[in-house]
Each structure stands twice: as C-alpha cells, then as structure tokens.
C-alpha cells in the first residue's frame, strides 16, 4: 500500500511538472513565432507539433515510471534509515 501511494505521488508530481514545462515551453514558443504565425497561419504544422509534445509527455511519464519502479525495488525502510 505504501509503495503504491509513493508511486502515485511521484508519478503525479512528475506528470504535473512535465505538463507545466510543456505548457510554459509551448507558450514561449508561440510568442517567439507569433509574427510568422500571424503572417501565414496555414503554414504552421499544428498536427506534428502537437504529436511531438504528446510524445515528449508519454516518454517522460514512461521514464518516470521506470525510475519509480527501479527505486522501489530496494528495501524502503533501510534506505530511508541510511539517509
């Protein structure tokens, strides 16, 4: 139960940070390319950009899941006491 709670907490935090980072990066990128988008909005590849952002989110969550899984394989209490 504790391991499941820790897994959910860590994945939720990492997911939040990933989404926040992607959102802030996306907004910054939109400001950077705003003159081009305003002059010719049809030339922006919205679908591929969205797919890339989605892929970054998926890979980030998979990496977080792998890290949590690896970290929870070690005995939890002795590892915390060693700290």
* 53 within a domain of the structure (yes/no): yes
Q: How many other CB atoms sit within 10 Å of the CB of residue 64? A: 19
Q: What is the mean pLDDT of the chain?
A: 90
* 11 within a domain of the structure (yes/no): no
The answer to whether the pTM exceeds 0.75 is: yes
* 67 within a domain of the structure (yes/no): yes
* 66 within a domain of the structure (yes/no): yes
Q: Please state the three-class secondary structure of the chain as a single string.
A: CHHHHHHHHHHHHHHHHHHHHHHHHHHHHHHHCHHHHHHCHHHCCHHHHHHHHHHHHHHHHHHHHHHHHHHCCCCHHHHHHHC
Number of domains in the chain: 1
pLDDT tens for residues 12-24? 999 999 999 999 9
């Amino acid at each position: 139960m504790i391991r499941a709670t820790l897994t959910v907490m860590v994945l939720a935090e990492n997911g939040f940070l990933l989404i926040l980072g992607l959102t802030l990066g996306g907004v910054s990128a939109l400001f950077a390319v705003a003159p081009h988008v305003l002059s010719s909005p049809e030339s922006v590849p919205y679908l591929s950009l969205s797919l890339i952002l989605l892929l970054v989110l998926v890979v980030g969550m998979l990496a977080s899941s792998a890290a949590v899984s690896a970290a929870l394989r070690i005995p939890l209490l002795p590892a915390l006491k060693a700290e």
